[in-house]
Amino acid sequence: MKVDVILGLQWGDEGKGKVVDVLTPDYEIVARFQGGPNAGHTLEFEGEKYILKSIPSGIFQEGKINIIGNGVVIDPALFKQEVEALEATGHVLTDRLYISKKAHLILPTHRLLDAASEKAMGDAKIGTTGRGIGPAYTDKVSRNGLRVGDLFHNFEEKYRNAVARHKEKLSPSDWEDVLPDLEKQWFEGVEKLKTYRIIESEHFINKHLAGGGKVLAEGAQGSMLDIDFGSYPFVTSSNTICAGACTGLGIAPKMIGEVFGIFKAYCTRVGSGPFPTELFDQDGQMLRDQGREYGSVTGRPRRCGWIDLVALRYTIMLNGVTKLVMMKSDVLDSFDSIKACVAYNINGEITEDLPFDISEGIEPEYVELPGWKTDMSAMQSEDEFPEEFNNYLSFLEDELNVPIAIVSLGPDRAQTIIRQG
């Protein structure tokens, strides 16, 4: 069998967690392939709301195995907080959550390095979540990182050496007062981590596939935050596109099956960086308020704008998307009209291709479509969709040349329409 991949096509916060939760019954394994506790995958069902940071979003489905893959970076302290919060609500995870030996660890000093770097950059800061993810990936690439498997092999010495290297980059005031408490929490988290099944995940996944099993690979952040193809340098520190599933889980490209690309019916971004269709008017505030656009991890208000089809075409191309999933359609229910950016005007030249630099000099070319002015949140079938909404779907499919297979009409698991044909 193949590995199906689900990932975001914009700047993150597209709603990946909900869709993974909806699709999980069709798979035996759900595996996260990159990112760290900067993810904020929100799931709502049966009147409860959960926000997952490191744990795969298939965790609530009985009988499914969830794997934190080798491409993920893990902070044991935050991992402990997350699993204990879920345990407090009655969800026991030890029988369904596995962790790759090759996943890298976020050390307490990585968090301090992250904070010091952002402070030093001043107004030019990236706008990270401050959780040490960038410095952890930096250590990984420079071959200085510590992995989950290292916990069982001369770890104390490896840890002391890593911390000593980090302290050389910090001033004493950055760590003297805070590091002891951070380390206490971190090592308590390590003990919690060790209670879970630590595996060679690449072998586990490939043997499952060879036996005819099905795997769903879950990405974090969005494709426009990819370290190679995103709006650099305002990006995350890993490959968020489909290729990252291969390196982040140890699967061959030929094993990729369907690629589900998730996007909002409009567009949002958290933190710094270019955003060509960003709105600063009443429409932008209306999108933020009606969409509850505040970061699930940081609480920061998200920047909002109209859908950007130039960027979407680009990320669809990079990922080889076979099926589209449109989220938060309901947020547009009360708009009289809706705009979609179909091209960029750059110094008088019209282009549909995403340029090298989107930070300035871009004027979006919009198409305006009539709104549907209908509350769709309780609809159970696409047969109930208003004509204007169907026209919006058809317009997007024509522009993007990929079918929209799933439409979300609200945050709850039940508010999901799987389209026919």
The answer to whether 29 and 126 are in contact (CB under 8 A) is no
Rounded Cα distance, 244 and 18, in Å: 21
Nearest Cα to Cα of residue 31 among 243, 297, 214, 260? 214
Find the catalytic residue in 41, 110, 166, 208.
41
Rounded Cα distance, 384 and 375, in Å: 11
Read off the tokens for 352: 């549909």
Would you call 80 helix, strand, or coil by DSSP?
Answer: helix
Q: Which residue has the tokens 């859908």?
A: 307
Read off the tokens for 307: 């859908």
Q: How far is CA 413 from the centre of its chain?
A: 18
Find the catalytic residue in 13, 174, 308, 330.
13
Rounded Cα distance, 13 and 262, in Å: 10
Rounded Cα distance, 363 and 308, in Å: 12
Phi-psi region of 274 (alpha: psi -120 to 50; beta: other; left: phi over 0): beta
What sign has the CA pseudo-torsion 386, 374, 411, 397? positive
What are the distances in angstroms from CA 84 to CA 109, 186, 282, 352?
23, 14, 41, 47
Rounded Cα distance, 259 and 277, in Å: 26
Q: Which residues contact 57 (CB under 8 A, 6 or more apart)?
A: 16, 17, 18, 20, 21, 24, 30, 41, 43, 218
Active site residue 41: yes
Residue 205 — φ and ψ, nearest 5°? -70, -45
Residue type, 330: D
Q: Which residues are catalytic?
A: 13, 41
